[in-house]
Structure 1
Amino acid sequence: MINKSAERAAARVVALAGLLALAACSSTPKDDPNSQASLDKLYAEAKEDLSAGAYDRAIKSLERVEGRAAGTLMAQQAQLDLVWANYKANERAAALTALDRFIKLNPSSPAMDYALYMKGIVNFNEDLGLFGRLAGQDISERDQQAARDAMLSFNQLIEQFPDSQYADDARTRVDYITNTLATYEVHVARYYYNRNAFIAAANRAQRALADFPKAPAAEEALQLMVQSYDKLGLTQLRDDAQRVLKLNFPQSVYVVSPQEKKAWWKLW
């Protein structure tokens, strides 16, 4: 004869099992926001928004994908897509934050070369903007910290991944940034010289030569040093700078002295 207590216990177990079965039926993988099916759907929607240029909506969806799929390849891809979405939405700070997070969390990722390339691209901004164009501003006249950050990222890419599909473009951009930064230093040196701050002008021109010795702007940097030292009465330094200028730029317009210039009536 079965004990009544056992019967009641068995009945409770059956009832609990029934409730669990109902709960399982009511929470299918399709409705689970963390299920792979739901993540796939959410990511697909984010990619559609990204393609359509709906960057704000894409960013929100990608952030949810990244959080729910943490530690997976999908989360890594969502992070990289977030970079692109923020970059296209002109959210530079957010794009850099997403890149730094990706680089920190995925140091051995096969997409590391792309992450470094994008970090350079986000900082590399050759568009002067409407106000810059209206004012006739040259890129070399603006603050260059972003350009320096871009060059660091591109150089890191070139050193760590010399055979990357992004390496050649990175090298081209490094050359461009190098010339831009050198021109910027010379621009500042000229600014000081025109305001009779000859020590500051000489120091800034010397900095351009030290940091970017092969840039075209090195020619004018040397000339500014010659002129600044001459104004300061530092004849030895002036003559040294003049010799370096003649040695490295023998055809420079700065090398020809007034006595060597042709008379207006001479044809040869």
Structure 2
Amino acid sequence: MPFAHPLRAAKVTVLRTALLAACGLGLAGCDAIDSINPFANEKYKTEIVPDVPADKLYSQGLGKLEDRDYEGATKRFEDLDKQYAYSDWSRKAVLMTAYSNYEGGRYEDAITASKRYLQRHPGSKDAAYAQYLLAMSHYKQIPDVTRDQDRSEKALVALTELVQKYPTSEYAADAKAKIQITRDQLAGKEMEIGRYYLERRNFPAAINRFRDVVSKYQTTRHVEEALERLAEAYMALGITGEAQTAAAVLGHNFPDSPWYKDAFNLLQSGGLQPREEKASWISKAFRGVIGMDTRTAEAQ
């Protein structure tokens, strides 16, 4: 018979005594412990999710898309990505997740999925399309000109990146057209703020806004008005040289514009004529655009 060490036996006796004390010398005490355990009554059952073939999950997702069940399609493609991670099916699933969310109007989710695709597969043949979905998801959320234009800025960045990274892709032409629309939106916002300051005779603040339009958004429809408003603001401040330059540049580039007629009449009322000062920032800004256009034409 094995020898039982007296000290070890004593320890076992103490542990048993403590356990019984904790349980109230019986099961009643253990029931009391269960009463304060929030998970005591929960029952867990192991569920085995059957493997669905990748091609079947993908087909199910396409079927949901055809039925315009975009949420259901997203679920199928997300399941495909999870169950077949790091496979070519996963690559397709992430892109289709972005597309399903985009078609369903869940643009933030589409942006997230598009970014995930570009991070995982930056060199794939579908990277241009993922970038297009990313840009369009921002573009679709551009608000009216009276609101904050943060989304417009993000759309412009994403669209520009698309054209720069994938200039020969089938999406480049559409991106270029939407870049122009987005730039026009941003210029419109600057004009709205500039007019606000001009009406309140805060001429320096107004000039800063119109200057942004002339410097950054010269190819938009707002540049004609911006030049005329600059003439107004500079005349009000007595900076006649800049006012004359604004009118002269306006007349040179847009001779038939009604805004030029307004600027011309404004100068005449002060006994002045349009006259371009080559050292003016306005003159330099437009010379820069002419030079850039010339270089572009030569490259083509």
> What TM-score results when the alignment is normalised by the length of structure 2?
0.66
Aligned counterpart in structure 1 of residue 253 of structure 2, from 235, 248, 252: 248
- Matches of 1:258 and 1:240, distance apart in 2: 14
Aligned counterpart, 2:224? 219
- Matches of 1:62 and 1:195, distance apart in 2: 55
TM-aligned CA deviation for residue 32 of structure 1 = 4.8
CA separation of 1:258 and 1:229: change in aligned 2, threshold 3 A:
closer
Does the residue aligned with 1:179 lie in a helix, a strand or coil?
helix
Aligned counterpart, 1:42? 57
Aligned counterpart in structure 1 of residue 114 of structure 2, from 81, 96, 99: 99
Letter in 2 for 1:218: V
Aligned counterpart, 1:189? 194
Q: Indicate whether 1:177 and 2:192 are aligned.
A: no
Aligned counterpart in structure 2 of residue 68 of structure 1, from 71, 75, 83: 83
- Matches of 1:258 and 1:243, distance apart in 2: 12
TM-aligned CA deviation for residue 126 of structure 1 = 7.5
Q: Are the equivalent residues in 1 in contact too, given 2:207–2:230 (CA < 8 A)?
A: yes
**TM alignment of 1:77-226, pairs within 5 A:** 77-125=92-140, 139-226=144-231
TM-aligned CA deviation for residue 72 of structure 1 = 1.5
- Matches of 2:118 and 2:57, distance apart in 1: 24
Q: Are the equivalent residues in 2 in contact too, given 1:32–1:38 (CA < 8 A)?
A: no
Letter in 2 for 1:45: Q
Q: Which has the larger radius of gyration?
A: 2
TM-aligned CA deviation for residue 156 of structure 1 = 2.0
> What TM-score results when the alignment is normalised by the length of structure 1?
0.73
- Matches of 1:127 and 1:120, distance apart in 2: 11
Does the residue aligned with 1:254 lie in a helix, a strand or coil?
helix
- Matches of 2:103 and 2:188, distance apart in 1: 29
Percent identity (aligned):
28
TM-aligned CA deviation for residue 252 of structure 1 = 2.4
- Matches of 2:174 and 2:265, distance apart in 1: 44
TM-aligned CA deviation for residue 55 of structure 1 = 1.6
- Matches of 1:122 and 1:105, distance apart in 2: 19
